[in-house]
Chain A
Amino acid sequence: MSLSNLIKNWSSLRVKRPYEDQYKDKDYKWAMVIDLDACTGCNACTTACYAENNLPVVGREAFSKGQAMHWLRIERYWGEGEHMDKFPDHGAQFLPMMCQQCESAPCEVVCPVGATHHTPDGLNSQVYNRCIGSRYCSANCPYKVRYFNWWQYPERAWPNPLEQQLNPDVTVRSKGVMEKCTFCVQRLTEAKNRARTEGRRVADGEVTTACAQACPTSAITFGNLADDKSQVARIWERQQIKLASDKQEKDENLRGYRIFEELRTYPSVVYLERVRDSEA
């Protein structure tokens, strides 16, 4: 996307999407809900992501330079304040963080070659063979969930016969390209194709992401927001979260929120607040 094109279309990029009922007549809008009260921080989801999406193990040295390729990571916080000199009386605060599939994604507008763009079913996609590695998208992502291939991982991350574990449905990325969580787009594509062949829409629960499938506490719900009977759509509705709103007007006792909503990224992931018994 050239600069002139970017400036010319700025208003459409920043204002027009999302709009109310954008996906009303569409077949698909993929979305997620993560219940932080159910998440135990156990890392089952992150390992499932490595297995499903051919994420390279980078090793200690690369990890120390911040070059880990975990599309889904569990962040751990100890609370508010300046110092952590007291005991964490109410436990740790775990946050599974991955690409939020923003409806108005800050990464998309800065890509000079249109390698990251929005799909009709509401995913923020990454086209590997268009990517030139400018890393503008990563710099502009407020969630810091884009990962750059600093090395030619296919040559070092899967010594024989580990390469036989690679998922044939997912590309192995080479040096110089950006990558990130895709909501397991290979699973979505397969499910959509099957449904289309059978002349129907993908049913709720027919397809899920690797992280949601593994999660031992079922903290992650994935589904189609355009299907208002889907679990995910019903939770969004019950939590009074509107996709196209940057400030939710909702009841006080509802736990749903989106991270950095105020930045007008319009994320597709709703988190449900962690709960703690304040009497305990």
Chain B
Amino acid sequence: MSSSNIDRRDFLRVLGISGAAATLAGCGNTSIESGAELVESYVQPEDFVVPGVGVYYASTCTQCGSGCGIMGRVREGRILKLEGNPQSLISGGKICGLGQAGVQVHYNPDRLTTPMIREAGAFKPVSWDKAMATLTARLGSSSTLSGDQIAVLTGEISGHQKVLLGHFLESFKSANHIVYDALSPAIGQAANKAVLGVEQPVLQIDKARLILSFGNDFLGTGPSPVHMAAQYARFRKAPRGTLIQIEPRMTLTGANADRWYAIKPGTEGVFALGIAHSLLQHQEYAHAVPAEIAEALKQYDKDTVSEVTGIHADAISHIAGMLWEKSPSLVLSGPSAEGHVHGFNNAAAILLLNLVLENRGKTLQGQASHPFPQLTPASGSTTALAKLNQAMSAGQCQALLVMGANPVFTAPTFVPFASNLAKVPFKVAFATQLDETAHQCDLVLPLLSPMEDFGTHVAGYQPSGVELAIQQPLMERLYPETRGLGDILLDLLKQRQPEAYKAFPDYYAYIKTAVTKAKPVFKSKSSDDDFWEDALRNGVLRLEAPPAALEAHAATVKVGKPQALETDVNFPFFFVPSVRADLRDGRHANLPWLQESPDPLTTVVWDSWVEIHPTTAAQMQIREGDILEVQSATGSVRAKAYLFPGIQPDTVSMPLGQGHTGYGRYADGMGVNPFKIFDPMYDERTGELALYATRVIIKKTGEHARVVKDEGATNLQQGRKLVATMAADQAELAKEISRVTQ
């Protein structure tokens, strides 16, 4: 599983043990050697710094919420490169491109280097003393704010930073920690909870012989892509599992499918129930669902389902046959199935298949119970933002602290976050770099980069047991006028509750105490200091724990009449946004490696584009590079056409993440922001924004520009044996030598 057998003893060294005191030895009897005089070297090497030799320190990646263990290569005091940490079960010693680019957050030329304060409409750099004075004047011991008057808006956050934030809010008698995730999986989580009893089950991809995925991009943008990729590698070894992907627009996972089907967006639930209907013809599955569901499923005959979904009728019985043959299977629902008005029902219908096929306990498990529930991440949603937006609009919110979220960029047009933000009298951004939201705040505090700070992280997706991931600095801070979020929060708490926090001189002392207090849970017999140093050296504290059982609530799945999609003559196309594994919701668009890393499916760089199926493009006489206006009822954006075969012909797709206007030199001016054309459509069960339910019309503008992409003149191999493909029944994978299976 690990990348190599590189000697770990050479790789992993402890940070922070006291260095050997500079000793001088030699021959002769000078006053120096006899100790009468002390000569100190002008150059005092730091611990483990050997010029020319790179040393690896363990830490944790914070680029997404997966909590991958990483190792940073440090040489001459500089962090140079990140690798996966083999001690971490989540990363398994591997790392993705997004994780690699973590060093560019740290070295970004557009990083904030001093606090800034808004004066007469413009930002002015100020000292930390001044900035903290401004902050404590409002939020210190004399603050009169309480309850709903104060709110903290963050992205996904876990560990002790989350705990301190909670304590900080508690000191105001407030619980307004709003976790906003523009690409929230909340609809799918709600369906998991209703059908399986847990929000996020553990997927055992490697144990499945057949995976049927409805738009679940577990290799690209799922909850733990690096871990899933390692499982996928084992899934593909003998006996080789089969992957069938059904989605309106091909994701990275779809690109790796044995069989890929284009489906009309939003009809995934109908297709899943069609398969359920077909499966129930088999005697062994007949009793898997309650009688009324079995009865209702009779409406889902293959011709009806085929007409609604646009997939050939034979595919339904074929897939059902394969599911019957290749057990255990795993049926997954993904964002493109869930982001609809009936998204919850879609996801529940898809999950029902797992109950029919009895995949519980085989390829689907419950996560082990967590010994530190207060450290687990708060799941983000879009409803949380809507609620905050209302409170701001009503003038309730007097002080807002923002970190790790950029709603001015990602909030849809009908959630006028930017204008309501102006109604908040005191807005503070904590950031390593200015973004669109920070630009509108009154005070901006520059944070340490993730390469400079301590922290603890708990991933929301724990593949096995529980990992408490430790983040430690991989180098000294680049800018003296930057501070860690934990330290700032601790300072504020010390002002408000001096007695409770006086024991902790800084955040380092706080988490060291907190982590060593957890020692009994990890059944360690070492001393506190040894336990802490081991934790730093390994980068992760692991606790083995058995998986929990999943429940089965088939009766909660609502099986209505198979509904055909309504057509909208004004907006004839379905609009399917695509989420890039590197840029995500746009928070990583400031990293040059990721901007220049071609999108895997289209190979386009540094831009936005509109994907359209070649046959549709031919009918509309659209060529690659024609600038199209994509207009919804809410708004419109313009981008170049890209002819893409992996898309349903009545659908157009655009990638999210580009179109920044205040996020530094690498992000600004690159492409457009499709968040701004989403229609106000909501999942009727959860109230979450339905990201895949927008309809658009395509207009040719008559303009044309060259698409900047990596692919050459042809997409086709034209007889050259570049990528050869072998049929699965021909390849003798069991006889091959592979590190993955060893």
A residues adjacent to B (C-beta < 8 A): 35-38, 40-44, 46-48, 50-52, 57-60, 63-64, 68, 70, 73-95, 159-162, 164-168, 203-208, 210, 212-219, 221, 231, 234-235, 238, 252-255, 257, 259-260, 271-280
Chain B's closest residue to A36 (CB) is B723
Q: Which stretch of B114-122, B228-236, B400-408, B439-447 is in the interface?
A: B228-236
Known: A216-B230, A278-B729. A60 touches B5 (CB 8 A): no
Q: Tell me whether A274 and B739 are in contact (CB under 8 A).
A: no
What 0/1 pattern do residues 139 to 157 of B give for CB contact below 8 A with A? 0000000000000000000
Q: Tell me whether B596 and A57 are in contact (CB under 8 A).
A: yes
Chain A nearest CB: distance from B452 CB in Å? 13
B605 in the interface (beta carbon within 8 A): yes
Q: Tell me whether B646 and A275 are in contact (CB under 8 A).
A: no
**Ranked 9 nearest A-B pairs via Cβ:** A205-B5, A216-B229, A47-B97, A217-B233, A60-B606, A280-B259, A92-B255, A93-B723, A277-B258
User: In the complex, which residues of chain B have a beta carbon less than 8 angstroms from the beta carbon of A165?
Assistant: 78-81, 103-104, 107
The total of interchain contacts (Cβ-Cβ below 8 angstroms) comes to 310
What 0/1 pattern do residues 595 to 622 of B give for CB contact below 8 A with A? 1111011010111000000110010000
B722 in the interface (beta carbon within 8 A): yes
Q: Tell me whether A206 and B229 are in contact (CB under 8 A).
A: no
Chain A's closest residue to B730 (CB) is A253
Q: Which stretch of B218-226, B271-279, B537-545 is in the interface?
A: B218-226
Known: A84-B715, A275-B236. A91 touches B596 (CB 8 A): no
Partner of B3, one of A203, A218, A277: A218
Complexed CA–CA distance, A162 and B78 (Å): 11
12 residue pairs from A and B, CB less than 8 Å apart? A40-B253, A44-B94, A51-B82, A76-B603, A90-B260, A91-B250, A91-B257, A160-B109, A162-B107, A162-B592, A165-B81, A231-B739
Known: A51-B81, A253-B731. A274 touches B726 (CB 8 A): yes
Chain A's closest residue to B478 (CB) is A161
B530 in the interface (beta carbon within 8 A): no
Chain B nearest CB: distance from A280 CB in Å? 4
**B248-307: which residues lie under 8 A (CB-CB) from chain A?**
250, 252-262
Q: Tell me whether A88 and B250 are in contact (CB under 8 A).
A: yes
User: In the complex, which residues of chain B have a beta carbon less than 8 angstroms from the beta carbon of A271?
Assistant: 723-724
Q: Tell me whether B710 and A85 are in contact (CB under 8 A).
A: no
**B29-85: which residues lie under 8 A (CB-CB) from chain A?**
52, 75-76, 78-84
Q: Tell me whether A213 and B4 are in contact (CB under 8 A).
A: yes
User: In the complex, which residues of chain B have a beta carbon less than 8 angstroms from the beta carbon of A280?
Assistant: 242, 244, 258-259, 322
What 0/1 pattern do residues 709 to 720 of B give for CB contact below 8 A with A? 011000111111
Complexed CA–CA distance, A210 and B80 (Å): 13
5 further A-B pairs in the complex, CB-CB below 8 A; given A48-B97, A92-B250, A275-B727: A40-B253, A91-B260, A214-B96, A238-B735, A275-B726
User: In the complex, which residues of chain B have a beta carbon less than 8 angstroms from the beta carbon of A215?
Assistant: 3, 94
Known: A42-B229, A88-B645, A277-B728. A214 touches B708 (CB 8 A): no
Chain B nearest CB: distance from A187 CB in Å? 10
User: In the complex, which residues of chain A have a beta carbon less than 8 angstroms from the beta carbon of B740?
Assistant: 38, 217-218
Complexed CA–CA distance, A75 and B602 (Å): 10
Complexed CA–CA distance, A86 and B253 (Å): 19
B733 in the interface (beta carbon within 8 A): yes
Complexed CA–CA distance, A87 and B84 (Å): 36
User: In the complex, which residues of chain B have a beta carbon less than 8 angstroms from the beta carbon of A253?
Assistant: 726, 730-732
Chain B nearest CB: distance from A78 CB in Å? 5
Complexed CA–CA distance, A273 and B725 (Å): 5
Q: Tell me whether A77 and B252 are in contact (CB under 8 A).
A: no
Q: Tell me whether B711 and A76 are in contact (CB under 8 A).
A: yes
Chain B nearest CB: distance from A204 CB in Å? 8
Complexed CA–CA distance, A95 and B712 (Å): 13
Q: Number of contacting residues on B, CB 8 A?
A: 106
Q: Tell me whether B257 and A43 are in contact (CB under 8 A).
A: no
User: In the complex, which residues of chain A have a beta carbon less than 8 angstroms from the beta carbon of B97?
Assistant: 42-44, 46-48
Known: A41-B600, A216-B94, A238-B735. A87 touches B101 (CB 8 A): no
Q: Tell me whether B710 and A73 are in contact (CB under 8 A).
A: yes
User: In the complex, which residues of chain B have a beta carbon less than 8 angstroms from the beta carbon of A64?
Assistant: 706, 708
Complexed CA–CA distance, A108 and B53 (Å): 33
B240 in the interface (beta carbon within 8 A): yes
Interface centre among A40, A208, A260, A278 (most CB of B within 10 A): A40
Chain A's closest residue to B230 (CB) is A216
Interface centre among B219, B643, B738 (most CB of A within 10 A): B738
B582 in the interface (beta carbon within 8 A): yes
Complexed CA–CA distance, A13 and B465 (Å): 58
User: In the complex, which residues of chain B have a beta carbon less than 8 angstroms from the beta carbon of A162?
Assistant: 104, 107-109, 592
Complexed CA–CA distance, A275 and B730 (Å): 9
Q: Tell me whether A159 and B109 are in contact (CB under 8 A).
A: yes
User: In the complex, which residues of chain A have a beta carbon less than 8 angstroms from the beta carbon of B665?
Assistant: 159
User: In the complex, which residues of chain B have a beta carbon less than 8 angstroms from the beta carbon of A210?
Assistant: 81
User: In the complex, which residues of chain B have a beta carbon less than 8 angstroms from the beta carbon of A42?
Assistant: 96-97, 219-220, 225, 229, 252, 581, 600
User: In the complex, which residues of chain A have a beta carbon less than 8 angstroms from the beta carbon of B730?
Assistant: 252-253
B499 in the interface (beta carbon within 8 A): no
Complexed CA–CA distance, A207 and B3 (Å): 10
B9 in the interface (beta carbon within 8 A): no
Complexed CA–CA distance, A89 and B243 (Å): 12
Partner of B6, one of A83, A91, A206: A206
Partner of B716, one of A58, A81, A221, A274: A81
Q: Tell me whether B581 and A275 are in contact (CB under 8 A).
A: no
Complexed CA–CA distance, A235 and B646 (Å): 34
Chain B's closest residue to A86 (CB) is B645
Q: Tell me whether B736 and A238 are in contact (CB under 8 A).
A: yes
What 0/1 pattern do residues 1 to 21 of B give for CB contact below 8 A with A? 101111100000000000000
Known: A51-B82, A165-B107, A252-B730. A277 touches B240 (CB 8 A): yes
Q: Tell me whether B606 and A235 are in contact (CB under 8 A).
A: no
Partner of B715, one of A35, A77, A207, A213: A77
Partner of A80, one of B6, B84, B597, B719: B719
User: In the complex, which residues of chain A have a beta carbon less than 8 angstroms from the beta carbon of B236?
Assistant: 37-38, 217, 275
User: In the complex, which residues of chain A have a beta carbon less than 8 angstroms from the beta carbon of B81?
Assistant: 48, 51-52, 165, 167, 210
Partner of A41, one of B83, B109, B256, B605: B256
Known: A63-B596, A68-B710, A217-B232. A77 touches B242 (CB 8 A): no
Interface centre among B245, B643, B728 (most CB of A within 10 A): B728
User: In the complex, which residues of chain A have a beta carbon less than 8 angstroms from the beta carbon of B254?
Assistant: 91
B324 in the interface (beta carbon within 8 A): no
Q: Tell me whether A75 and B722 are in contact (CB under 8 A).
A: yes
Chain B nearest CB: distance from A185 CB in Å? 16
Complexed CA–CA distance, A277 and B721 (Å): 20
User: In the complex, which residues of chain A have a beta carbon less than 8 angstroms from the beta carbon of B390?
Assistant: none
Partner of B737, one of A159, A235, A279: A235
Q: Tell me whether A40 and B4 are in contact (CB under 8 A).
A: no
Chain A's closest residue to B718 (CB) is A80
User: In the complex, which residues of chain A have a beta carbon less than 8 angstroms from the beta carbon of B597?
Assistant: 43, 46-47
Q: Tell me whether B240 and A94 are in contact (CB under 8 A).
A: no
Q: Tell me whether B84 and A214 are in contact (CB under 8 A).
A: yes
User: In the complex, which residues of chain A have a beta carbon less than 8 angstroms from the beta carbon of B605?
Assistant: 60, 63, 68
Chain B nearest CB: distance from A186 CB in Å? 11
Q: Tell me whether A85 and B615 are in contact (CB under 8 A).
A: yes
User: In the complex, which residues of chain A have a beta carbon less than 8 angstroms from the beta carbon of B598?
Assistant: 43, 73-74
User: In the complex, which residues of chain A have a beta carbon less than 8 angstroms from the beta carbon of B725?
Assistant: 90, 93, 273-276
Chain B nearest CB: distance from A165 CB in Å? 5
User: In the complex, which residues of chain B have a beta carbon less than 8 angstroms from the beta carbon of A37?
Assistant: 236
User: In the complex, which residues of chain A have a beta carbon less than 8 angstroms from the beta carbon of B706?
Assistant: 64
Partner of B722, one of A92, A168, A212, A259: A259
Q: Tell me whether A60 and B670 are in contact (CB under 8 A).
A: yes
Partner of A79, one of B710, B711, B717, B736: B717
User: In the complex, which residues of chain B have a beta carbon less than 8 angstroms from the beta carbon of A273?
Assistant: 724-726, 731
Q: Tell me whether B716 and A77 are in contact (CB under 8 A).
A: yes
B593 in the interface (beta carbon within 8 A): yes
Chain B's closest residue to A278 (CB) is B727
Chain A's closest residue to B614 (CB) is A85
